[in-house]
């Protein structure tokens, strides 16, 4: 869930030319053999991450009455493609979130972050597509990977599976194989009655590829600016949110959008770094600056001097999130998710139903 990449208009042409050379079909069915779903129920979700679990879990408890789902962001791959669940997942397994006495569904999120020698060795390949290419190369390997993903759920206390494979659109063959994999994984999940969610980066070519019906698709509406950009700015502005909502509308239903809390700091001589809302507010207080609200994004920002020059910080608060959510509800979505819980100054203010 990191960096935005630009996709050229030649994706389909590249797929067609390359696929013709090896004789593969590029026409995945519009509707898989899975049973069509009934009218979607609105999904309000949020992520709890393995590296900030205590804070994230505390916030999840505070807002559980506003949630339909909570996702544990902790699934990764080892060097052979085996799924590893990292962090305090056993503690998460014991959590029982409720929304007006109804249980809140729990998902396990699996990414293509690869730890070649296991999670105890800190060497990491973030968003690795080379290993993913091998896992998705053939019907047999895709089936085996799908079975491994569903098997990884056992013992975690999660009844739903969430896939967050990124940077898959850069290579036409990887893109094709991934969409094919989603078709097949959806059938496997349907057979085992496991709800499936697919997280998609902002650069997803929603108008170029035919995605299978069945999963819930969630498009990230964040990182317009961030650690990948040398220019400071908000994680999203309204124009960017509108572009993402247009993509959401092109996806099969149920289709959702995700917004991000926190922000980013830019300092001379240092790489940009992400900050939580609490960290951003503390930095503003330390530098004696009062954040101002940007009209185009509704994000807060401030600039200040430090020992090495100047810094600039942009971040979201409750008012920002509510403005983005309001725009999504105006356009029409089947769900809104929040990346992520933990480090939010007043998490209850993100949800109108909990405002004090």
Arithmetic mean of pLDDT, 249-270: 97
What residue has token string 């050229």?
A: 8
pLDDT band at residue 35 using 50, 70 and 90 as cut-offs: very low
- pLDDT of the residue at 41: 72
pLDDT band at residue 121 using 50, 70 and 90 as cut-offs: confident
Q: Is 183 inside any structural domain?
A: yes
pLDDT band at residue 355 using 50, 70 and 90 as cut-offs: low
pTM: 0.89
Q: How far is CA 109 from CA 66, 183, 255, 305, in A?
A: 20, 18, 17, 39
What residue has token string 């205590």?
A: 54
Q: Is 10 inside any structural domain?
A: no
- pLDDT of the residue at 120: 74
Q: Is 21 inside any structural domain?
A: no
Average pLDDT, the chain: 90
Percent of the chain at pLDDT > 70 equals: 88
Q: In terms of C-beta density within 10 A (0-12 exposed, 13-18 middle, 19 or more buried), how is residue 83 classed?
A: middle
**Residue 10 predicted with pLDDT over 90:** no
Structural contact between residues 298 and 320, judged by C-beta atoms closer than 8 angstroms: yes
pLDDT band at residue 123 using 50, 70 and 90 as cut-offs: confident
- pLDDT of the residue at 306: 80
Q: Is 334 inside any structural domain?
A: yes
Q: Is 307 inside any structural domain?
A: no
Q: Is 143 inside any structural domain?
A: yes
- pLDDT of the residue at 16: 47
Query: What residues make up the domain containing 194?
Result: 43-260+321-349
**Residue 29 predicted with pLDDT over 60:** no
The dihedral of CA 277, 283, 288, 291: what is its sign?
negative
Q: Is 247 inside any structural domain?
A: yes
- Whole-number CA gyration radius for the chain: 20
> How far, in whole angstroms, is CA 253 from its chain's centroid?
17
What is the tens place of the pLDDT at every residue in 159-186? Answer: 999 999 999 999 999 999 999 999 999 9
What is the tens place of the pLDDT at every residue in 210-252? Answer: 999 999 999 999 999 999 999 999 999 999 999 999 999 999 9
Closest CA to 262 of 242, 235, 288: 235
Q: What is the CATH number of the domain that holds 203?
A: 3.20.20.80
Q: Is 54 inside any structural domain?
A: yes
| Structural domains counted in the chain | 1
Structural contact between residues 228 and 3, judged by C-beta atoms closer than 8 angstroms: yes
What is the tens place of the pLDDT at every residue in 148-160? Answer: 999 999 999 999 9
- What the block records as the tokens of 270 is 């240092």
pLDDT band at residue 19 using 50, 70 and 90 as cut-offs: very low
- Residue 338 makes CB contacts below 8 A (sequence gap 6+) with 45, 46, 47, 258, 259, 260, 261, 321, 350
Arithmetic mean of pLDDT, 114-133: 89
Arithmetic mean of pLDDT, 257-268: 97
What is the tens place of the pLDDT at every residue in 277-317? Answer: 999 999 999 999 999 999 999 999 999 998 778 999 999 99
**Residue 17 predicted with pLDDT over 70:** no
Structural contact between residues 132 and 168, judged by C-beta atoms closer than 8 angstroms: yes
What is the tens place of the pLDDT at every residue in 188-208? Answer: 999 999 999 999 999 999 999
DSSP class of residue 125 equals B
Closest CA to 245 of 312, 157, 333: 333
Structural contact between residues 269 and 309, judged by C-beta atoms closer than 8 angstroms: yes
């Amino acid at each position: 869930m990191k960096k935005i990449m630009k996709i050229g208009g030649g994706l389909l042409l590249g797929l067609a030319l390359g696929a013709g050379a090896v004789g593969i079909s590029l026409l995945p069915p519009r509707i898989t053999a899975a049973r069509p779903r009934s009218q979607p129920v609105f999904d309000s979700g949020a992520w709890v991450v393995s590296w900030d679990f205590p804070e994230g879990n505390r916030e999840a408890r505070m807002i559980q009455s506003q949630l339909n789902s909570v996702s544990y962001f902790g699934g990764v791959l080892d060097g052979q493609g085996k799924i590893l669940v990292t962090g305090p997942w056993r503690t998460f397994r014991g959590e029982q979130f409720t929304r007006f006495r109804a249980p809140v569904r729990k998902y396990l999120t699996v990414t293509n972050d690869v730890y070649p020698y296991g999670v105890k060795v800190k060497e990491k390949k973030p968003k690795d597509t080379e290993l993913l290419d091998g896992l998705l190369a053939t019907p047999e390997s895709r089936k085996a990977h799908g079975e491994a993903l569903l098997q990884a759920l056992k013992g975690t206390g999660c009844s739903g599976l969430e896939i967050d494979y990124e940077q898959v659109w850069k290579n036409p063959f990887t893109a094709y194989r991934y969409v094919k994999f989603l078709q097949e994984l959806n059938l496997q999940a349907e057979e085992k009655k496991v709800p499936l969610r697919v997280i998609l980066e902002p650069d997803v070519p929603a108008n170029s590829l035919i995605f299978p019906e069945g999963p819930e698709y969630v498009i990230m509406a964040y990182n317009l600016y961030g650690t990948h950009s040398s220019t400071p700015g908000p994680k999203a502005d309204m124009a960017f949110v509108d572009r993402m909502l247009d993509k959401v509308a092109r996806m099969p239903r149920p289709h959702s959008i995700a917004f991000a809390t926190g922000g980013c700091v830019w300092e001379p001589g240092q790489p940009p770094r992400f900050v939580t809302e609490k960290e951003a507010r503390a930095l503003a207080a330390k530098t004696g600056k009062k954040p101002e609200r940007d009209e185009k994004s509704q994000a807060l920002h401030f600039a200040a001097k430090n020992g090495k020059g100047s810094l600039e910080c942009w971040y979201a608060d409750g008012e920002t999130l509510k403005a983005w959510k309001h725009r999504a509800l105006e356009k029409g979505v089947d769900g809104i998710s929040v990346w992520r819980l933990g480090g939010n100054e007043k998490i209850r203010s993100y949800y109108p139903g909990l405002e004090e």
